Amino acid sequence: MGFLHLFIVNKSGGLILHRSLGPRAPSIGTNDWLRIGSTFHSLHAIAAEASPVRLPKNKNPSGADDGIQQIEGSGVTLKCLQTRTGIKFVLTAEPGTTDIDTALREIYVLYADCALKDPFYELEMPIRCELFTSAVDNLIERLEQSKMSAVR
Amino acid sequence: MSRNASNNILDRPLGFRATPAGRSSDVSSVSLSAFAYVYSELVQYHQGRAASISELERRLESAGYGVGLKVLECVAYRGKEMKRETRLMSILHFVSSSVWKSLFGKSADSLERSIDNQDEFMIVDYEPITSTFVSVPQDLGQLSADAYVSGIIAGVLDGAGFSARVTAHNVQVEEGENSRPPTNATPGMPRRTEKAVFLVKFSPEVLERDATLER
């Protein structure tokens, strides 16, 4: 059990951040990540089209566009948090990992704090804020530790 | 007119943070987020017009300078004794305590005299609010996002008749140097690894005058 990867896709399907979160995360090159990011973006849009039930204005209860929220595999769980502004925060983890939703929401808060309030960050561009990446690492470490102490 | 009215938004220090419940724990200060957005725009505005890192810092300093002049009048008027400082050390204490408290809601973390140069003093802040959310990119190297605050200090000192050159520097915090818990960081934000050192270098005539007053 543990977190594997985080990636963030902007509203036009461009990958703006990818980060491996644990030693067991498979190593994937940056080019492949760009491909995964834009593929996920398209699948997310197609999934809403393919759904037999169309939500009013295609918005889910939280006000974001409807689409993939979770993908389950026997070796991996993927969860996606799409914001109202169209940014997707996607976490992959090993099955059985708890707190993925909490982690996604906290990452959204950190993005709003560390990237959007940084004068040197340009919207829709790749995130290169040291503060953000170290805050994400701190958060994941904290969640993993609280899980460890819960097991004991 | 009330002299210590804290219900007017213009009289409150910066650094307010909403609690998770959405209600403020301390209504006597102004939103840090609001300030961070405005300051971020200010930096971007000047960045687009500055040709170099030093010019950007100089522009931020001149933006803060006017604030300093006004803050001096305001704080000196509101102070208990309504007096103006005339001595070098007292004006520095005034800056690092009274001015700091009225702007940021806390005192500066330390005030030191330079060992090498008699005319240099250092005001240290471990958590300057201007760089709370700033990560300076590699290509901007030594840029300090706290240049604005150094401009404020220069404005206060100049207004009080102590002309000085004030510069802001980011300095790595040594292990175990700052044992205080972070005060106004968002939960989950990493601890600051750099502190801001504001280097105050007084003009020779200011030191001469102070030496005369010493006698």
Whether A109 sits inside 8 A of B36 (CB atoms) is no
Question: What is the tens place of the pLDDT at every residue in B148-202?
Answer: 999 999 999 999 999 999 999 999 998 777 767 666 556 667 888 889 999 999 9
Whether B138 is in a domain gets the answer yes
- pLDDT of B15 above 90: no
As for how many domains chain B has, the answer is: 1
List the domain range (segments joined by +) for residue B81: 9-17+25-214
Q: What number is the average pLDDT over the span B116-129? A: 92
- Its ipTM equals 0.85
**% of chain B residues with pLDDT over 90:** 58
Q: Which residues of B touch A108 (CB under 8 A)?
A: none
The partner residue sitting opposite A118, judged by closest CB among B40, B42, B186, is: B40
- pLDDT of B4 above 70: no
Return the pLDDT at B9: 66
Whether B104 is in a domain gets the answer yes
- pLDDT of A27 above 50: yes
Pairing of β B110-113 and β B120-125: antiparallel
CB-based contact (8 Å) between A128 and chain B?
yes
CATH of the domain at A102: 3.30.450.70
List the domain range (segments joined by +) for residue A15: 3-151
Whether A118 sits inside 8 A of B133 (CB atoms) is yes
CB-based contact (8 Å) between A54 and chain B?
no
CB-based contact (8 Å) between A99 and chain B?
no
Return the pLDDT at B23: 45
Interface contacts A/B by beta carbons within 8 Å:
57
Whether B3 is in a domain gets the answer no
Whether B1 is in a domain gets the answer no
As for how many domains chain A has, the answer is: 1
Neighbours of B152 (CB within 10 A): 28
Q: Tell me how far apart the alpha carbons of residues B109 and A18 are, in angstroms, rounded to a whole number.
A: 37
Whether B100 is in a domain gets the answer yes
Whether B36 sits inside 8 A of A117 (CB atoms) is yes
Q: Which residues of B touch A120 (CB under 8 A)?
A: 43, 47, 134-137, 140
- The answer to whether B18 and B27 are in contact (CB under 8 A) is no
Whether A131 sits inside 8 A of B43 (CB atoms) is no
Contacts of B13 by beta carbon, 8 Å cutoff, 6+ apart: B28, B29, B30, B101, B102, B103, B104, B105
Helix (H) or strand (E) holding B196: strand B194-202
CB-based contact (8 Å) between A47 and chain B?
no
Return the pLDDT at B182: 67
Whether B2 is in a domain gets the answer no
Report the residue of A17, A107, A108, A114 to disrupt the B interface, i.e. the one with the largest count of B CBs within 10 Å. Answer: A114
Report the residue of B56, B134, B192 to disrupt the A interface, i.e. the one with the largest count of A CBs within 10 Å. Answer: B134
pTM above 0.90, yes or no: no
